[in-house]
Chain A
Amino acid sequence: MSVTSDASPSVLPDAGGHFGRFGGRFMPEALIGPLEELEQAWRAAMADTDFRSELDRMLREYAGVPSLLYDATRFSDHAGARVLFKREDLNHTGAHKVRNVLGQALLAKRMGKRRIIAETGAGQHGVATATACAYLDLDCVVYMGEVDTERQQLNVARMKMLGAQVVPVATGTRTLKDAINEALRDWVATVDDTHYLLGTAAGAHPFPAMVRDFARGIGDEARVQCLERYGRLPDAVCACVGGGSNAIGIFTAFVPDEAVRLYGFEAGGDGFDTGRHAATISAGDVGVLHGARSFLLQDDDGQTIDSHSISAGLDYPGVGPEHAYLADIGRAVYRPVDDATAMRAFALCCRTEGIIPAIESAHALAGALDVVPELGPEALILVSLSGRGDKDMPTAAAWFDLLQDPDDSG
């Protein structure tokens, strides 16, 4: 089994990058030529067996792909149906993101670009990008909101250890969306020698399609593993959705399997009804942000609204356009999972399986528990365990009140 995709490319997007009424290219003209060049280079690379086998080798030998499909029996006992974990947490750098990052970094090298820029929220994509750049000997600059550099100092240190330059972004809300703005501003001025390594399946065409195709190994592998081991497809696939790269990565192989239900779980934050969340599809407002038409959190004037989530990786006011499309045509269902529900699933996974999941992935676990009544006890449910939770221990320790007050010690 090849770990880069053997499947025929998806029909969508169209030539302009549209998924139905979503997607497209809403970018300054200066970047349209470079985006066209990127698309051509990506398509040529994916048709080149040398590129494919080199990426395949890197994913196997360096990243630890294909990841395990794991039968989570004790978690299943609590769920009331059989739950399988696709163990992306075991990949190098601890999440699915390494697939996209290695793909794009190798592509950048092939295009002769020596410098990589990336945005990061909590720092996971930044760490993955810095890792790939160290591995492939590329210069790396990571833009990170000032709010995030302050609350994620360990990941800033990780990126620096790996040789990356971390640039704090002090404009706007000083978080992920502003880091993307700043990376785009860098790119428009440096595009001759620089590749913008976008971390999720969003943005202007070809990014949503390219990131999907680099990430779709998650679902391609799981589909084969499931058929080999259980002789049938899962009844449902569950994933968390921020920008949506791990979700589109695991959904894509199953989209043609109409009997397989696809569930995306968005960050419900303080609770969907409070308005303090990152559940863009559930909120249902269509607009344009960061280069594509999709759902987004916005006010009556179309100004972007801050998102809220305990999970930094889901804390983004937009979502990839293909998810908007899958929601629109009813192929996938998207629901909010609030912070408290996600953290209960986080704890359950720790205690029943000895696996500390990323808080992002805990949203998918919580969602899986929630859909069991709809599917029945005989159901086979595949969950994308998109990342490991070591990075989230400060958050979890505070949530569960596990940190000893220094005054009480001794």
Chain B
Amino acid sequence: MSPGTAPGVAATLQRCRDDGRAALIGYLPAGFPDLDTSVQAFVAMVAAGVDVLEVGLPYSDPVLDGPTIQRAAERALAGGTRTKQVLDVVSAVSATGAPALVMTYWNPVERYGVASFAQALAAAGGAGLITPDLIPDEAQEWCDAADAAGLDRVFLVAPSSSDARLAATAAACRGFVYATSVMGVTGARAQTSTAAPVLVERVRRVSDLPVGVGLGVSSGDQAAEVADYADAVIVGSAFVRCLLDAPDRSAGLAAVSALSADLAAGVRRRAAAS
């Protein structure tokens, strides 16, 4: 797929906003449980209502991930997943028409070559990068490469970010701002965060970009709560669980579809209520 054929993340989020609802963003590591199944899972997500795909690049030292995603990344790496194949997954899932962002720790990008990676990602039809351990202060090379390749760059903000850092980080983002809802690692949580609405409000004071909220969402009801104040609801570990817990591949894909549908209904519930 050539660059630009999939709509950008901003256009997709705007379309959702026009529909009076939040967008749904779904994450899985590429190559988990294997390359082919991960592609099929992304296709199933889009078919069941996921708006934006987050393709994880499995990494040996994922410091921001809890046990669920760690285990998935370990399995993807043990199965032989390479950076090149992650780009192949991006290429395959971009055919769904949903924009695909790659979520990656920084070292694999640096190792590939920042400008080369940006070009390869754009050529694969990818929309951009989410970089959990790269802050804008260290990102000049990536920002230049993203500009040259026409890619979105999504940095994280956190409850502990100062107002000055929120403003600077939001200014460096393109596509949306990723608000980590809790101080902690990825993983499904029973309760949604009380810090998240406050953080989203703080971002809105310094930026017009859409704000996505991630970390901990695992059900349609939680998605509806987050959709009440955020522009996008980001779900990761709960999708990984679907595939980890399933007895076989078709059961796993069915669980991914069912969760996608539940979450997609959740992000629309606010619209139904208003």
The answer, yes or no, to whether A333 is at the interface (CB within 8 Å) is no
B211 within 8 A of A: no
Say if the beta carbon of A125 comes within 8 Å of chain B. no
User: Digit string of B55-67 for contact with A (CB within 8 Å is 1, else 0)?
Assistant: 0000111111111
Which residues of chain A are within 8 angstroms of B160 by Cβ–Cβ distance? 29-34, 191
Collect the chain A residues with CB atoms within 8 Å of residue B94's CB: none
Please name all residues of chain B whose beta carbon is closer than 8 Å to the beta carbon of A300 when the two chains form the complex: 111
Indicate whether A288 reaches chain B with its CB closer than 8 angstroms: yes
- Minimal Cβ-Cβ distance residue in A for B162: A33
Count of chain B residues near A, Cβ 8 A: 43
**Across the interface, which residues of A come within 8 angstroms of B108, CB to CB?**
301-303
Q: Most chain-B Cβ atoms within 10 A of its Cβ — which of A29, A185, A188?
A: A29
Q: Are B135 and A25 in contact (CB under 8 A)?
A: yes
Cβ of A28 within 8 Å of any chain B Cβ, yes or no, is yes
Interface string of B92-114 (1 = CB under 8 A from A): 00000000000000111111100
Query: Inter-chain contact count A-B, CB under 8 Å?
Result: 118
Q: Which residue of B lies closest to A30 (CB)?
A: B158
Contact A288 B107 (CB under 8 A): yes
Give chain A interface residues in 161-196, CB to chain B under 8 Å. Answer: 171-172, 177-178, 181, 184-185, 188-189, 191-192
Nearest residue (CB) in A for B112 is: A302
Say whether A177 contacts B61, CB under 8 Å. yes
Knowing A33-B160, A302-B108 are in contact, say whether A188-B135 is a contact too (CB < 8 A): no
Is B60 in contact with A172, judged by CB distance below 8 angstroms? yes
If over half of A's interface residues share one DSSP class (helix, strand or loop), that class is named, otherwise mixed; here it is mixed
A33 engages B111 (CB within 8 Å): no
Q: Are B61 and A304 in contact, with the CB atoms below 8 A? A: yes
- Contact of A275 with B by CB under 8 A: no
Taken residue by residue from 103 to 146, chain B's Cβ proximity to chain A (1 for < 8 Å, 0 otherwise) reads as 00011111110000000000000000000111101100000000
- Give CA–CA (A254, B36) in the complex, Å: 57
Checking A27, A33, A287 against B161 with a beta-carbon cut-off of 8 angstroms, the contacting residue is: A33
Residues of B within 8 A of A171 (CB): 67, 70-71, 74
Judge if B1 is at the interface, Cβ distance under 8 Å: no
Closest Cβ of chain A: how far from B246's Cβ, in Å? 22
Is there contact, CB below 8 Å, between B165 and A32? yes
Question: Are B61 and A290 in contact, with the CB atoms below 8 A?
Answer: yes
Q: From residue B154, how far is it (CB to closest CB) to chain A in Å?
A: 12
Which partner residue on chain A sits nearest B166 by CB separation? A29
Q: Does A112 contact B (CB under 8 A)?
A: no
A288's nearest neighbour on chain B, judged by CB, is: B107
With A29-B169, A191-B160, A287-B111 as given contacts, are A181 and B62 in contact (CB-CB < 8 Å)? yes
Instruction: Name B59-83 residues within 8 Å CB distance of A.
Output: 59-67, 70-71, 74, 77, 82-83
* Cβ-neighbour of B133 out of A28, A33, A177, A304 (below 8 A): A28
Most-contacted residue by chain B among A27, A28, A287 (CB, 10 A): A28
Q: Which of B62, B107, B162 contacts A287 (CB 8 A)?
A: B107
Chain B residue with Cβ nearest A303:
B60
A185 and B161 contact, Cβ closer than 8 Å, known pairs A16-B137, A32-B135: no
Task: Say if the beta carbon of B198 comes within 8 Å of chain A.
Answer: no
Chain B nearest CB: distance from A111 CB in Å? Answer: 15
A-B contact pairs, 16 of them (CB 8 A): A25-B137, A28-B64, A29-B160, A29-B169, A30-B156, A30-B183, A33-B158, A34-B160, A36-B162, A171-B71, A185-B66, A185-B185, A188-B64, A189-B183, A189-B185, A288-B107
10 smallest beta-carbon distances between A and B, as pairs: A302-B111, A30-B158, A33-B160, A189-B184, A302-B108, A302-B107, A303-B60, A304-B60, A288-B107, A29-B156
Known: A28-B132, A171-B67, A290-B63. 14 other contacts (CB 8 A): A26-B135, A28-B180, A29-B158, A30-B159, A172-B60, A181-B63, A184-B63, A185-B65, A287-B111, A293-B110, A301-B108, A302-B59, A302-B109, A302-B112
Q: B residues within 8 Å of A by Cβ?
A: 59-67, 70-71, 74, 77, 82-83, 106-112, 132-135, 137-138, 155-162, 165, 169, 180, 182-185
